[in-house]
Chains A and B, each alone.
Chain A
Amino acid sequence: MSHNAILTLDNMSYAYGAKKALDRVSCKVEEGHCAILLGPNGAGKSTLFSLITHLYNAPSGTIHIGGHDVRRQPLKALGLLGVVFQQSTLDLDLTVRQNLLYHAALHGIKHREAEHRIKEELTRFGMLERAHEKARQLNGGHRRRVEIARALLHHPKLLLLDEPTVGLDVPSRKALVDHIHALCRDRQLAVLWATHLIDEIAPQDDLIVLHQGQVKASGEVSEVLEQTGQETIEAAFTQLTGRKERTLW
C-alpha cells in the first residue's frame, strides 16, 4: 500500500462574516485510499469542498493537490481533480455523450481520445447503451453514474464526492458505494467522500470526522474506534459530535 498523499489540507480556516465555518482543519488523503468525510449537516463539508475546488479562497491555511498549491497553482491542482457535486450538474437537455464531450473539451482532451474514453467509462458503469439518450430521461442513480464517469474522464488522481448518494434508492446506493470502493482499489485513486450516512463506510476506509468546522478525529476506521474507545463507528460518531446519525439503508 502506497503512502503518497494526494490531498493535503493544512490549518484551513474559513468564515462567512462572523460565523466560523472551518476552524484550523488539517487532514490528508493518500493514493488508493478512500477517505470518508463524516459530519452532520452544517459541519462545514460543503465549505471544505468549495475551498478544495478553488471556488473560494481561504484567507489562512494551505491546500495541496498532488503537490500543487491550489491557491498558487490552481490550474495544475484542478487538473488532477475530479468532482461530483451534491446537486446534479448534468445538462438535462443534452445527451449523455454530449455532456461528457463538453467536460472532455473543458479538460482539453482531443475529440477522438474523448470518444474513446467516454466509451470506456460508460462501459465500466454499464451505461454505454444510454449514451445517446438525453440526461433528462435517466433516473437519479443513472445520472449519478454518468456524473462519476464524467469526473473520471480526464484521469484525475483525486476524486471528490459531495454526498453523491443523496436521493438514491437502496440498490442504486449500494451499487455506487461498491463501485467507488472498487475504483480506489483498482485505479489507486484517492477519494474524498463527504457523507453523513455511516453505512457507506467500509472497514478499510479512512475517516475524517468534522463537526462545527473542526476535525474531531481522523485516521483509519480502526484507529478512530481506538481513539474513542468505542466498538462501532456510530458510537464513536455520537461521542465525537453528540449526535446520532442515520445508519439504515
Chain B
Amino acid sequence: MVMHAWRALMGIMGREGLRFIHQRERFISALVRPLLWLFIFAAGFRSTLGVAIIPPYETYVLYEVYITPGLLGMVQLFNGMQSSLSMVYDREMGSMKTLLVSPLPRSFLLTSKLLAGAMISVIQATVFLLIAAAYGIEIPAIGFLTVLPALILSGLMLGALGLMLSSFIKQLENFAGVMNFVIFPMFFLSSALYPLWRIQESNPTLAFLASYNPFTAAVELIRFALYGHFNLNAALITFFSLLFFLGMAIWGYNPSQGMMNRRA
C-alpha cells in the first residue's frame, strides 16, 4: 500500500510537471502579471506611497521592495486558482474521474494533487523572485533559502483554497464570479500592496478584516522569510487555513457529499 501510494504520488507530480512544461504560455502569463506590477505599478507608486520602517525591514525600503513578497503571494494565488479552474474543467471533461476512480483513498489522491500544484507554484514563485533580484530588488543571500519553506506552505494553502473552490463550483461558467469574489478581495484586502497600519489609518474595519485574511498571513510569512525571519503568527494562520481548506475539499469530493452528487 505504501509503495502503491508513493508511485501514485510520483505519477501525479510527474504528470503535473509534464503539463507545466507543455503549457509554456501559462507559465509566461503567470510571470508577466506580477512583473507588470513590479516594473510599472510599483515604479509609478514609488513616490506616492512611502513605507515606514516596519519589521522585518531595518531601514526605509523602496515600494518595489515592499511589494515583492506580495507579488510572490500573487503568483501563488493565481496558480492556486488556475489549478482550481483546470480541475473544474477536468471534472467536466472527465479526466478528474480517472484520478478519483483509482484504488487509493480519495483524501490521499486530493492531497497528492495539491502537492503537485504547490510544486509548480513554488517553481513559478522562485523564477519570479530571481527576475526581481536581477531587476535590482535586494534580498539577502540567506533569504533565497529561508523563503522556500514559506513558499511551500503558502503554495499549499492557496492550492488548497483552489481545491476547495473546485469541489463546490458546479460549472466552468460560475468560475469568473469566483475569481472576482475570491482573487480580488483576497489580494486587495491584504498587506500585499500596503502595510496594514496604512489601512488602519483610513479604515479600521478593513484593517481588521485584512489582518484575518489568510492571504495576508501568507504574504507576511513570505516577507519575513525573505529576510531570514520567522513569523510564527503568520505561519500558524497559514497552516490552519491550509488544514481547513483541504478538509473542506476532501469533504466536498466525498462520494456522499458535495459536488459529485450534482448532475453535470
Contact = CB atoms under 8 A, between A and B. Distances in A.
Nearest to A50: B260
B95 A91 contact: yes
A79 interface: yes
Contact of B94 (A88, A101, A102, A104): A88
Nearest to B11: A105
B25 to A, nearest CB: 12
Nearest to B102: A106
Contacts of A90: 95
Interface in B5-29: 5, 7-8, 10-12, 14-15, 18-19, 22-23
A105 B97 contact: no
Contacts of B104: 75, 106
A25 interface: no
Place the interface of chain A in its size category: 35 or more
A94 interface: yes
A87 interface: yes
Given A75-B103, A106-B102, A55 B260 contact: yes
Interface in A74-107: 74-76, 78-79, 81, 83, 85-91, 93-94, 98, 101-107
Nearest to B9: A105
A140 to B, nearest CB: 15
B263 A16 contact: yes
A87 B11 CA distance: 22
Contacts of B103: 74-76, 78-79, 107-108
Nearest to B260: A55
Contact of B7 (A83, A88, A108): A108
Interface in A101-157: 101-111
Nearest to B109: A106
Interface in B217-264: 255-256, 260-263
B94 A81 contact: no
Given A90-B95, A103-B98, 14 more contacts: A16-B263, A55-B255, A55-B260, A56-B256, A56-B260, A75-B105, A78-B102, A85-B98, A87-B94, A89-B95, A89-B98, A91-B15, A94-B15, A101-B11
